[in-house]
A and B are shown apart, each in its own frame.
Chain A
Amino acid sequence: MKRVLVELKNLSKKFGKEHVIKDLNLDIYEGEFLTLLGPSGCGKTTILRMISGLEKVTSGKVIIDGKDVTDIVPAKREVNTIFQNFALFPHMTVWDNIDFGLKMHKVPRTEADKRIKDAINLVKLKGFENRKPDELSGGQQQRVAIARGIVLNHKVLLLDESLASLDLKLKREMQIELKKIQKQLGITFIYVTHDQDEALTMSDRIAIINNGTVEQIDTPENIYRKPHTKFVADFIGEANILTGKITKVSENEAVVSLPDNMDLTIDNKNYQVGEEKTVVIRPECFDISSIESLDSFKGVVKEYIYDGMITKLIVQKDNTELRINLMDASSFKEGSDVYLKVPKKYIIVLGDKNE
């Protein structure tokens, strides 16, 4: 059993009349990479700022390493933040930027020097010690921010959209590197982002935040494969979300009838006939063929969008549009008839308890 390092208990935050965080509970384990993912304005940054202490809580508790820090100032909390635009000290050199926290904590000089050197080596900034931030590239500034955040050896590092200002290629590189640094140091990363790719690649667990509450917290794979709510299914990846009724149940299987005569066979999990169910089908989960087969339903290719690695098809089934992604779609054209099937293991039924 992993140890809980950061505990948020019934956390609430109001800005004036606006209720930004609503009674939020979250346990963050020691050494894990947890991502708070959500649309902009969902309150994820506010959660992070309440952990660092830069934002006061309206009610509830923040517990770090067993200690209630709710009323403790940021300077005294054993967490550090890497800010969105790095917030480096522009009037200080790289060395002095990294040294700042050590000075404030009155770390003895010889040890401080050693720790700065180690941090500089870790983020590969050797030779840049005497540069000022404006003499560095975006990626290098990012590295300074990381070094400055980890040099105090605190157990938790908070990252607030820390890669958002980098260009795509650099972002990918830094994602991998951040993950490496996190594993190497074994510290807890709490990462805030609205970028789902980033969240899926880097995290041990993802907490989907919506409207100031946690919608779902799970591994990236489960978040994608087994979303609990419509919001999660829609927010992560592409999804066809359809609502229909259970029309047939047998011992092991059930049939859910979706609009426009789409009947799908699913595993029966104590469903009742007549029960309303919402199903989610990821675009890559369809079996598509130009030949009719048992249980398949017919649609027409409405749009054909070539997207490099995959081809996206939009298939019209009466009044419903289905999004389908294929590795090779060369045998289909716009306007051609296609026959679709969905293997039941790929059909996600919302409202099921997670096995």
Chain B
Amino acid sequence: MEHKNKFLRNLFIILVFIFLYLPIAVLVIYSFNKAKTNIVFTGFTTKWYTELFKNRDLLEAFINTIIIAVTSTVTSTVIGTTAAVGLYKYKFLGKNFVNKLLYIPIIIPEIVLGIALLSVYTLMNLNLGMFTLILSHIAFSIPFVITSVRSTLSDTTKKIEEAAEDLGASKFKVFKEITLPLIRPGVISGATLAFTLSMDDVVISYFTAGPGSNTLPLKIYSMIKTGITPDVNALTSLMLLTVIIILTISIIYQSRKIRKKVVA
């Protein structure tokens, strides 16, 4: 009985992992496929990787995506962090209402937010382009940053800030030396969230992009009609590699921190 349970358990875990990672594995394998379509594997090649750097459209879209992601991440992280700290620190009329209001952009369908932003831009006579894209990405990232930062603020934070104040720190020093280091994990995870959300956003970008401001997800999406070329596979494989490298570094860093603690 015990054996059977163990077997079933392991089988289940294996199936889950296959379900999660098989598509990714296929993508990577096909980026080395000689054939032009993602149907049969005809032989190994790295030509799509060299081809990729010749595909100016795709590269341009990629660069746009990075520019938008970086700008919107930095801006929304600054705004979101200050907002979270402000909401936590100060009492004002309708604070509860504002707190609830923050969840709306997170839960409403993206398509609604996309159309809403588009109508605002038209109303304001803004030309659709990089600027409107960045603005939109900032808008939908802020609530995520606020939620993430807020989770690191607690009553203990308040006590620790009071202790710093008691020891002679000005409000600014308290924020810089105490609050910011304490909420750093929340700020980092908020920023990471904002960055990834911006990187792969399709729906909102679709409504707020203009001519000459194609982003990578939009470009790939439009390619579906004409057929995705293997250089897209190559590009996404490279993106995957970047993510894996970043993850590995963070894991090594964290385990080192834990080990240091155990030794101490």
Q: Which of B159, B167, B264 contacts A148 (CB 8 A)?
A: B167
- Is chain B's binding surface mostly helix, strand, loop or mixed? helix
Flag if B182 contacts A91 (CB, 8 Å). yes
Q: Which of B156, B160, B170 contacts A75 (CB 8 A)?
A: B170
- Which residues in chain A, 199-253, are within 8 Å of chain B measured between CB atoms? none
Q: A135-B261, A135-B264 are in contact. Are A90 and B160 (CB under 8 A)?
A: yes
Interface string of B153-193 (1 = CB under 8 A from A): 00010011011111111100100011001100000000000
A310 at interface by CB-CB < 8 Å:
no
Interface string of A50-73 (1 = CB under 8 A from B): 001010000000000000000001
Flag if A100 contacts B264 (CB, 8 Å). no
Q: A85-B156, A91-B182, A152-B168 are in contact. Are A104 and B163 (CB under 8 A)?
A: no
A89 at interface by CB-CB < 8 Å:
yes
Q: Complex formed: what's the CA distance from A91 to B261 in Å?
A: 13
Interface residues of A (CB under 8 A from B): 52, 54, 73-76, 79-81, 83-85, 87-91, 100-101, 104-105, 131, 134-135, 148, 152
Flag if A83 contacts B168 (CB, 8 Å). no
Q: How many residues of B contact A (CB 8 A)?
A: 19
Please give the distance in Å from A287's CB to the nearest CB on chain B: 51
Q: A75-B170, A104-B167 are in contact. Are A85 and B182 (CB under 8 A)?
A: no
Flag if A87 contacts B160 (CB, 8 Å). yes
Q: Which chain B residue has the least Cβ–Cβ distance from A101? A: B167
Q: Which of A75, A76, A83 contacts B159 (CB 8 A)?
A: A83
Please give the distance in Å from A136's CB to the nearest CB on chain B: 10
Q: Complex formed: what's the CA distance from A81 to B162 in Å?
A: 10
Chain B residues within 8 Å of A104, by CB? 164, 167-170, 173
Chain A residues within 8 Å of B159, by CB? 83-85, 87
Flag if A75 contacts B264 (CB, 8 Å). no
Chain B residues within 8 Å of A84, by CB? 159
Flag if B166 contacts A52 (CB, 8 Å). yes
Tell me which of A73, A74, A90 has the highest count of chain B C-beta atoms within 10 A of its own C-beta. Answer: A74
Flag if A101 contacts B162 (CB, 8 Å). no
Please give the distance in Å from B163's CB to the nearest CB on chain A: 4
8 closest A-B pairs by CB = A101-B167, A104-B168, A87-B163, A87-B159, A91-B181, A75-B168, A87-B160, A104-B169
Please give the distance in Å from A103's CB to the nearest CB on chain B: 9
Q: Which chain A residue has the least Cβ–Cβ distance from B165? A: A74
Query: What are 26 A-B contacts with C-beta separation under 8 Å?
Result: A54-B162, A54-B165, A54-B166, A75-B165, A75-B168, A75-B169, A75-B170, A76-B168, A80-B166, A80-B167, A81-B162, A81-B163, A81-B166, A83-B162, A85-B156, A85-B159, A100-B164, A100-B167, A100-B169, A101-B168, A104-B169, A104-B173, A105-B168, A148-B167, A152-B167, A152-B168
